[in-house]
Structure 1
């Protein structure tokens, strides 16, 4: 059964994954990897773990939403960014804001993809057989 808390947890995990890989503030796997400090075996293990988690997220998103669903979510996020920029809520001229918006959109697509089948069941009113007991 899909709850709001479950959706928020999935979205937060996607945000942590995407912003953990790269963010404009310098506290990310990318920045850690590019620094000369640290043990390369730990960096390799962290990179393989991140790649595994990202692969699972992308695969689950693609399987639940398919091409049309991913395209529609990307278009929805892009149009929202366009509206916010048009009304001067966000300044896309600032590279930091631009990268934060792009990373947030990627995380939103992954988070929505993780929850899409559950959202679809809730919107359509279908009941899972496990929910009947």
Structure 2
């Protein structure tokens, strides 16, 4: 159960930062930077702390070499999906959601 909660937390962190819908921090921050700068900065710092926690835990568990190895595997998988025309540039929001899920 613990691993599921960690994976769900990482998914929420990534999708809250950016996703193809209009409900994400990046678009909200761009639209409200001038009027709600302190709140935008607070939420940005909270997201940054979340990323630091997850990146630190990843480095402790699999190390830098493990991160490079996982990135190489994901890159090879994307290459295969593009080569077999499963992944195309026709629908960028599907590609973005697949990237968020893969991360």
Q: Is the 8 A contact 1:24 1:96 kept in 2?
A: yes
Give the 4+ runs in structure 1 shifted more than 4 A. Answer: none
Match of 2:24 in 1: 28
- TM-score normalised to structure 2 length: 0.80
Q: Is the 8 A contact 2:13 2:47 kept in 1?
A: yes
Q: CA deviation at 1:93?
A: 4.6
Distance 2:82 2:2 in 1: 30
Tell me the SS of whatever aligns to 2:32.
Answer: coil
Q: How many residues are aligned here?
A: 102
- TM-score normalised to structure 1 length: 0.65
Match of 1:8 in 2: 4
Distance 1:85 1:6 in 2: 34
Match of 1:87 in 2: 84
Distance 2:87 2:26 in 1: 25
Higher relative contact order (CA closer than 8 Å, sequence separation 6+):
1
Specify every segment of 5 or more residues in structure 2 that has no aligned partner in the other structure, as ranges: none
Q: What is the 5 A alignment of 1:92-111?
A: 92-105=89-102, 107=103
Report the structure number with the largest CA radius of gyration: 1
